[in-house]
Structure 1
Amino acid sequence: MPFQDLNLPTPLALVANRVSVTGIHPTADSFLAVSYVAEAGVKLLGISLYPAFVRSAPEFAYKIGHALLHADGLGMWDTILREATTQPRAGFLPPEFGPLLVWLTRKRGRSEEDNLAPASEAARGVLSALGLDEDEIPPILSIRDLISVLVLIRNKTKAHGAVGTDFYAIANESYVRAVRGVLVGNPLLAWAWIHLSRRDNMNVRAIRLLGTAPHHLRQAEANAYHPEAPGVYLSPEFSSRIYPCMPLIEANRDCTRFLLPNGGYSDSGSAEFLDYATGTASRVDVEAFLRPPAPLPRSVTHGLESVGVQSNVFGNLPQPPSPYVQRLRLQAEIATRLHDRNHSIVTLHGRGGVGKTRLALWCAHTLAAAEPASFESIVWFSARDLELRPSGPRPVQPAVSDLPGIAKLYARLFNEPSEDLDGFARVLEQPDPITSRGRLFIFDNFETMADMGSLHEFLDTHTILPNKVLLTSRERAFRGDYPIEVAGLDRAEADELLHTIARDLDIEGLLTPETIESIYTDAEGHAYVMRILLGEMAKDGHYTSPKMILPRRADVVNAVFERSFNKLSAEARYLFLLLSASKLKMSELALIIVLGKRGADVRSAVEECLRLALISHEPLPDGKRAYAAPQLARLFARRKLEGDPDRLLVQEDAALLARFGALGASATTHLPQEDQVRRFVAWCHADASGASPDRLRYLESLLALTAEVWPRAWPELARFRRRHGGSADEISYALRRAVEELPFDKDVWLARADYAQQVGDEQTRMSCLISAVDADPRNVELVRDVALELCRYVDRHKAEIPRARRGVYVASVRSHMERLADSLDANGLSRLAWLFLLENDQTNALKYAMAGHQHDDKNPHCLNILEKLGADSGVGKRQEDTRQ
């Protein structure tokens, strides 16, 4: 049956039961029944988010309730769901909702084995049956995207007769699979849904809403709950809190009928509610949501509503930042880049709260006051939707959010006749018509703009010098601009900021060199975090360790990282969580090895995390990079990891990363990248001692992954396989790859020669010995020993190797040996002479036999060759004993 295998809460189970009872048929009725399941599932998600914000963001909770009760279509539910699970709103969700947030927003790769891929394919199939071309179908990278596509399907099929009967024959089965995608694995549906009320004796009456037959809880269990009013409550997994879902869901006392909002809100304060299990509608009084939601306040950096003279320019700049700490190096670099004639776009990028906006404002006011003025006008566009206030992050109303809004705001500020994009493009392309000076356009919080890529492309295409664009952004996502990284304050800047804030808070007495050091170290120079830490100290009235304060101020840490985290791809997200969990600085090679077994593109993931300022890097002594998650990021990631479905995998890989060894705190104590990998390889060998067969296979796979990215592991893999019973083919393969990847390392050639001798492959052994000499031709002992083996080999195979072909075997070793003749003893010179004899070069054979005889006139090998050459010039008639 389509949904019978799922444990659904009763409000949804009753709806799904309609489909389970009737089955799926190629009819409009079957399609409608599945649509009701989809609608009810989406609406339960929206309803659950309303109580989640009641405490942390009551104004937004009211907006959710008002929007959902007034929504006459499913599109508004999708909009609210997306807004509530995106920054800045998502930062106000309680920790218990973390697993739900991850499940909704996590971007899945195509290779991930979860329910999204088949559900996405099924949804695309339905849209194709509706006549949409491939490029018209929105991408589905997350469950949240899948929900949007289901809403699109519902809207396109809602009108009676919108599709023909053939459509249902094609689409109904796929539609079921697509709807299952938002039900299977949904954390919300696994949480406890309970109807709570009080009996006449005031005891709590609790009904667990699970399946089509909800059941009463025992009185002892019911007494654990303390309902404020009768109705449906939600209790997340591992949480003691209950969240009231009223008035967005209504239920009768017996819990056989559940009503969900269905629009139709009237001026009298009632709205239509629908029982999706039966299809019957009712009017419900929800007068509490009659008032429209209050608009969000503006940011203090919103920008002025009109253009005026500001020092020596026309502009709408907000007030200069106060207090402000001078950041001389950055200020000088920004000024230089805004005055040059090379880059039309300059981007200040870095983590949220590090001071990008303050820096941009200070520089803008400095430019405005300069004489002569560099620009005719400076225009400020604020896209800020989250204000980082001393009391904590607060949502605010952005001045602009997309390109059309930017064009309209500029036209309004400067009384331009055209508000369209062509008009704004002309402004970007031309200097001031009177003074011929350029205009400076500043876009603050650029990362919050809709369709950021297209907007950046528009600015890059149309901004022509002397006009300039300055962006502040958490994301360094584009090429063609000039990037300036804004990191944490240096120590002197941080000291100034801390003392300034402490004076304002009247807590200067709490600032000692030790407390300043502690705050600076734990905040990593992050300006906003240091402000918050001092504010908490002012409230406590004494110094409190930042390590105690930061975990309880999750709102602050979320404000810094949440937006960037939500933009990560699945692989980059995993990498960030892994580095945060490992607490180590790790080389790129170590990450490639560990994540290689997950099939991850590590280099792309690293670049993505760096671009979003979620990880940092520093050089190793060998010039390679080491990567780490900053301490603040680790605090953020710890909370994310608790509800992440990959938590156990991340912890397993973090333990594996530790085997490469922790890197020191300063660059001088860092291990070079190759030393880290050698340490890891040594651990693999050590851990194999006494290991089970499964463990041996696991360690072997790690060494194989290591070898693919670090060739020096191939001989180690061969050694591992030889020691632990690998097959001949596997050992031979590892040794062959070793010599292919390391052709100038004599040891790998000798290792392959040794194994060839073990398995009786004489030809491969001799070829490897010759290659070992080629790899280290100055090694006198090696060349001398290989010459002996070569003489013996050719002697044993005289019949198969005619004299004319012997040069193929002996020429390389003989030429190397000839260059070492002055370093050879009598035995070595006799072997060189014999190599010449094998090629029938009697002249050189005599030369080196005589040289050996001069070294040692009693050397039997030299005497034997001399006797052979002197007694008979046909050397083939007599045999020389080559066992020297």
Structure 2
Amino acid sequence: MKNQILQKIWDRIELEKKDSQLSYFNSLMYLGEVVTKTTCLFMLSGLGESQKNYKYTQFYKLVRANGIGEWSSSLDELLTGPSSQEMKIEYNIYSKELNDKTSKNDWQNIAVTALLKCLKTIDQSPEVRVNKIQLKTWFGYFAYLRNKTRGHGAITIELAEELNKSLATSIKIICEQFSPFKLQWAFLSQNLSGKYKVSGISEHIDNFAYLTSTAGSKSSLETGIYTFINEPIKIELIFTDNELNEFFFPNGSFRRDSFETLSYSTGTKIVQDGKKYLTPPGSLPKSETTGSEELRIVENCFTNIPENQAVYIMRSSLENELQDVLKNERHPIITLIGRGGIGKTTLAIKVLRDFCSKNRFENIFWFSSRDIDLMSLGAKRVQPDILDITDVVNVFNKLIGPQDPKLKQDERFDLFKQSLQDKSASSLFVFDNFETVVDQLTMFNWLDTHIRLPNKVLITSRMNEFKADYPISVGGMEYCEFKELITNVSEELHINELITSRYIDQLFEESSGHPYVAKILLGQVANEGKLGDIKRIMADQENLLQALFERTYKQLSAAAKRVFLTLGSWRSSIPRIAIEAVLKSTIDEKIDVELAIDELYKFSLIDKMTTQKKDIILSLPISAQLFAEKKLKTDIHQFAIKKDAGILMKLGVGRNTELKNGINDRISKFFQEVAKEVSSETEQIDKFIPIMEYISLKRPKTYLLYSTLLEEFDFIDEAIEACNKYIVAVEDSQSIIAWKRLIKLYKHKEDFVAEINSMINLCNVQQSSIIELSNLLKRYSHLLRLKVLRINEHRKTLSDAIIELATKTSNFEAINYDDKSNLGWIYLHNNQKEYAASIARDILRDIPDHHEAEKIMAKLDLKFIE
């Protein structure tokens, strides 16, 4: 068998067959269950998302199903029930294979007939027309056989032997002939580099190959099992890992918020998280921000926008910006981007209500994709009005009615396109909670293609995966706005006497001005009748955290998740450069941390601040940080992330002064903490070197600090390299301190040529002192006398450079007689005797008993004559 999901059980069958006929029979039944469950889940993967929630309804049932009969019933519903109308067109071929009536020579007919023979063997054969058999009936018959043998009966060895002949034939035919099992299947998990690890479940997986290249990093696929039908399609509720050792299927036993899964190849059971399957299926209530079902006249405008929210706090700067961009004759697509509950929808409703009194738009159409209402009592699931462009067209058609009820779908599309392009009647099309749309990018591009000014599109979304003409970022409230919100909500909850100015300040700081988080916290104060610890209250609001972040978190790349969890593992702001340095240095595979950070910001999961020194500081609001803490507990990288957090803690806790002073103090603290740790175990420095290198590369002035640390632990060559990198990166005027350190380091290393060369470079810096030239002449003269410069070429080059430097008019006039005598010695060693003699004579004219000048004359066998 080509598919590992089936092959694992077949391997077990081959072993059990050697043991006994009963074991053989039981293993065949296991394979039949796997075939049933895999077929059901495969067909379920072809069900589109819809407002009727068919897909979720099936998942809800299957995680609770305690018998294989419920799985065959679900499959029958997918093939013939109302949900079959929502099946993607690409799955028609597989539905046809299951639904078509077949003749006795077709493989489907042979498989079902063999199974019917098993039922006849146990005297349970139904009346069936042999030339009208459908493959889908196999699954019901199999469930019946299972219940009559393993479920509610016991069979003898003789009966098992008789059954096995037909049962093995029947199951094997389906495994080998059914088209879905011939598709390419793989387990996908995204590496931190953005590429995917593809573990082949089928024999060939070349359709998935692009995911292992750079092109794969553009995809955003959850970890799991996929088949390939034009694109990777996720198969939910089958669990495995990269090794593909076992495949686990739902096995009932749903308890509170988890369910049991079973590996049919080994009998191992694992409990899986079932939190997302807690809400009973069925018709959900409409959102409190859903649009009206018909247009009504509001002042100068036809509209279906929802009513204003009960409590609204003016956000003047945002309101003014949105009003201005809606008024103008530019920017056809505007986006309000911000995290969940931040106030995007309420802002939009308030501004649009005001616009109804203006003459800018004749029509304002409101389309809501909201599927969760963030209410004072917590998050509640609701029914979205639209999930794709077809839903939009249908809602629009109802709004502008009456229309011909027989209007075809393509005619409805044309009508909507005309409205987007109609210049005679200015219209605004509002799409609220756009992140819930099934294919955001496709729908955005469709709108972008057809919208024409003066008409406009306004989108509210948690995510910004597309480029709008005018994006507006909606962040936390300003302090005065936030304070007004707290006052109003406190009065409404009758807790205003409990709320102090200090508590408002704490709420503002901990929530980052997030209005919904603040409301939830105040609600808890009302419940408890006292002020509580803000972090504790937030930590208890798991439902809230899920509602605010879970959907967004799922769509993150593996690298973005890693950065998010690292930021959330420590309650402090962190310089962007530090998180980049640590993760790039501690993770073995290549990771684009910069892109991951930008992704988190785009999805409104992190806050960014820019200091006056242009440093970028990252932080998580308390709600996001608590969500990250919970995710970290079960993340496979949790121990590596905690280790990285330990390194980041060496930066110290962020302070408000950073906004003015920058992050220099924290970088210095990091190097100091590294030095402390390395002082007891020098070899520990290896793990910090890549981090310090990265920080220095991005902040070249840090190379000087890095050099000091390396020198302290006697890494002289590395310290020299760091100094040189500093000099290359900074302006000449800032290089003096580095040249001085290089001189010291080369002297320590006894690299005299490099030492003198550094001294020459120091003297050539415009801001250097004449003292540096004096030191150079003295040091070089001394080295010449010691005869340590053994290579004539080096000596000649250095001597020429020093002589040229010292004899510049401004320099020569500034140096003293001792310096000039050292210059005389340099001339002498450079075989420029006449110049040496000239300098000596000049000195002796002014100072007749100058000892060094006299020695030069004696060396030349000359006498000074005035």
Q: So what's the TM-score if we normalise by structure 2?
A: 0.69
Change over 3 Å in CA distance of 1:129–1:424 after alignment to 2: closer
| Deviation (angstroms), 1:522 | 3.7
Paired position in structure 2 for 1:477: 465
Paired position in structure 2 for 1:779: 769
The one-letter amino acid paired with 2:372 is L
| Residue correspondence of structure 1 range 807-818 to structure 2 within 5 A | 809-810=801-802, 813-814=805-806, 818=809
| Deviation (angstroms), 1:630 | 1.2
Contact (CA 8 Å) 1:624, 1:673: kept in 2 or not? Answer: yes
Paired position in structure 2 for 1:324: 312
**Within 2, Cα distance between the matches of 1:22 and 1:709?**
66
| Deviation (angstroms), 1:363 | 0.6
Paired position in structure 1 for 2:687: 698
Change over 3 Å in CA distance of 1:619–1:236 after alignment to 2: same
**Within 1, Cα distance between the matches of 2:554 and 2:254?**
34
**Within 1, Cα distance between the matches of 2:35 and 2:707?**
55
| Deviation (angstroms), 1:42 | 9.7
Q: Does 2:371 match 1:406?
A: no
**Within 2, Cα distance between the matches of 1:866 and 1:365?**
100
| Deviation (angstroms), 1:581 | 1.5
Q: Does 2:665 match 1:675?
A: yes
| Residue correspondence of structure 1 range 502-521 to structure 2 within 5 A | 502-521=490-509
Change over 3 Å in CA distance of 1:784–1:577 after alignment to 2: same
**Within 1, Cα distance between the matches of 2:261 and 2:554?**
34
Q: Does 2:679 match 1:689?
A: yes
| Residue correspondence of structure 1 range 523-534 to structure 2 within 5 A | 523-534=511-522
Deviates more, 1:443-452 or 1:398-407: 398-407
The one-letter amino acid paired with 1:398 is P
Change over 3 Å in CA distance of 1:664–1:298 after alignment to 2: same
Paired position in structure 1 for 2:204: 126
**Within 1, Cα distance between the matches of 2:854 and 2:448?**
85
Change over 3 Å in CA distance of 1:477–1:791 after alignment to 2: farther
Deviates more, 1:624-633 or 1:734-743: 734-743
Q: What is the CA deviation profile of residues 266-303 of structure 1, one whole-angstrom value per residue up to 9, with x for unaligned ones?
A: xxxxxxxxxxxxxxxxxxxxxxx9xx952222112111
| Deviation (angstroms), 1:500 | 3.1
Q: Does 2:618 match 1:627?
A: yes
Paired position in structure 1 for 2:324: 336
Contact (CA 8 Å) 2:193, 2:592: kept in 1 or not? Answer: no
Paired position in structure 2 for 1:464: 452
The one-letter amino acid paired with 2:332 is S
| Deviation (angstroms), 1:360 | 0.2
| Residue correspondence of structure 1 range 45-64 to structure 2 within 5 A | 61=60
Q: What is the CA deviation profile of residues 635-656 of structure 1, one whole-angstrom value per residue up to 9, with x for unaligned ones?
A: 1111111111111111111111
Q: Does 2:575 match 1:587?
A: yes
**Within 2, Cα distance between the matches of 1:126 and 1:398?**
40
Q: Does 2:302 match 1:314?
A: yes
The one-letter amino acid paired with 1:698 is K
**Within 2, Cα distance between the matches of 1:32 and 1:419?**
52
Q: So what's the TM-score if we normalise by structure 1?
A: 0.68
- Of the candidates 7, 12, 28, which is equivalent to residue 17 of structure 1? 12
Change over 3 Å in CA distance of 1:553–1:195 after alignment to 2: closer
Q: Which runs of 5+ in 1 are unaligned?
A: 24-29, 48-56, 81-103, 157-175, 197-206, 216-232, 247-288, 874-884
| Deviation (angstroms), 1:326 | 1.7
**Within 1, Cα distance between the matches of 2:353 and 2:231?**
51
Paired position in structure 2 for 1:500: 488
Contact (CA 8 Å) 1:700, 1:720: kept in 2 or not? Answer: no
Change over 3 Å in CA distance of 1:179–1:60 after alignment to 2: closer
Change over 3 Å in CA distance of 1:665–1:39 after alignment to 2: farther
The one-letter amino acid paired with 1:392 is G
**Within 2, Cα distance between the matches of 1:480 and 1:581?**
33
Q: Does 2:396 match 1:396?
A: no
Percent of matched pairs sharing the same residue? 23
Contact (CA 8 Å) 2:692, 2:706: kept in 1 or not? Answer: yes
Q: CA RMSD in A?
A: 5.3
Contact (CA 8 Å) 1:3, 1:20: kept in 2 or not? Answer: no
Q: Give SS of 2:679's match.
A: coil
**Within 2, Cα distance between the matches of 1:783 and 1:572?**
54
The one-letter amino acid paired with 1:613 is S
Q: What is the CA deviation profile of residues 76-112 of structure 1, one whole-angstrom value per residue up to 9, with x for unaligned ones?
A: 9xx99xxxxxxxxxxxxxxxxxxxxxxx999622659
The one-letter amino acid paired with 2:478 is D
Q: Does 2:605 match 1:601?
A: no
Contact (CA 8 Å) 1:428, 1:463: kept in 2 or not? Answer: yes
Contact (CA 8 Å) 1:316, 1:380: kept in 2 or not? Answer: yes
Q: Give SS of 2:297's match.
A: strand
Q: Which runs of 5+ in 2 are unaligned?
A: 19-26, 45-55, 85-185
Q: Give SS of 1:472's match.
A: strand
Change over 3 Å in CA distance of 1:686–1:869 after alignment to 2: same
| Deviation (angstroms), 1:770 | 2.5
The one-letter amino acid paired with 1:452 is Q
Q: Give SS of 1:688's match.
A: helix
**Within 2, Cα distance between the matches of 1:764 and 1:39?**
78
Paired position in structure 2 for 1:149: 227
Contact (CA 8 Å) 1:192, 1:236: kept in 2 or not? Answer: no
| Residue correspondence of structure 1 range 674-753 to structure 2 within 5 A | 674-691=664-681, 693=683, 695-712=684-701, 714=703, 724=713, 737=725, 740-741=728-729, 744=732, 745-753=735-743
Q: What is the CA deviation profile of residues 94-142 of structure 1, one whole-angstrom value per residue up to 9, with x for unaligned ones?
A: xxxxxxxxxx999622659xxx955x1535872448999999x999968
Change over 3 Å in CA distance of 1:839–1:578 after alignment to 2: same
Paired position in structure 2 for 1:661: 652
Paired position in structure 2 for 1:574: 562
Q: Does 2:421 match 1:429?
A: yes
Change over 3 Å in CA distance of 1:357–1:803 after alignment to 2: closer
| Deviation (angstroms), 1:439 | 1.5
Change over 3 Å in CA distance of 1:495–1:576 after alignment to 2: same
Paired position in structure 1 for 2:353: 365
Contact (CA 8 Å) 2:388, 2:438: kept in 1 or not? Answer: yes
| Deviation (angstroms), 1:759 | 5.2
| Deviation (angstroms), 1:697 | 3.1
Q: What is the CA deviation profile of residues 470-504 of structure 1, one whole-angstrom value per residue up to 9, with x for unaligned ones?
A: 11111233334222222222333233333433444
**Within 1, Cα distance between the matches of 2:212 and 2:624?**
39
Q: Does 2:851 match 1:860?
A: yes
Contact (CA 8 Å) 1:588, 1:625: kept in 2 or not? Answer: yes
The one-letter amino acid paired with 2:618 is Y
Q: Give SS of 2:623's match.
A: helix
Change over 3 Å in CA distance of 1:776–1:789 after alignment to 2: farther
**Within 1, Cα distance between the matches of 2:243 and 2:218?**
12
| Deviation (angstroms), 1:813 | 3.4
**Within 2, Cα distance between the matches of 1:621 and 1:19?**
72
**Within 2, Cα distance between the matches of 1:464 and 1:831?**
83
Contact (CA 8 Å) 1:41, 1:183: kept in 2 or not? Answer: no
Paired position in structure 2 for 1:352: 340
**Within 1, Cα distance between the matches of 2:418 and 2:363?**
15
Contact (CA 8 Å) 2:36, 2:71: kept in 1 or not? Answer: no
Paired position in structure 2 for 1:94: none
Contact (CA 8 Å) 1:475, 1:611: kept in 2 or not? Answer: yes
**Within 1, Cα distance between the matches of 2:840 and 2:219?**
77
- Of the candidates 821, 826, 839, which is equivalent to residue 817 of structure 2? 826
Paired position in structure 2 for 1:564: 552
Q: Does 2:692 match 1:610?
A: no
Paired position in structure 2 for 1:451: 439
| Residue correspondence of structure 1 range 198-237 to structure 2 within 5 A | 235=271
Q: What is the CA deviation profile of residues 799-839 of structure 1, one whole-angstrom value per residue up to 9, with x for unaligned ones?
A: 83499967753366336x65334542222233456667778
**Within 2, Cα distance between the matches of 1:824 and 1:528?**
73
- Of the candidates 349, 357, 379, which is equivalent to residue 365 of structure 2? 379
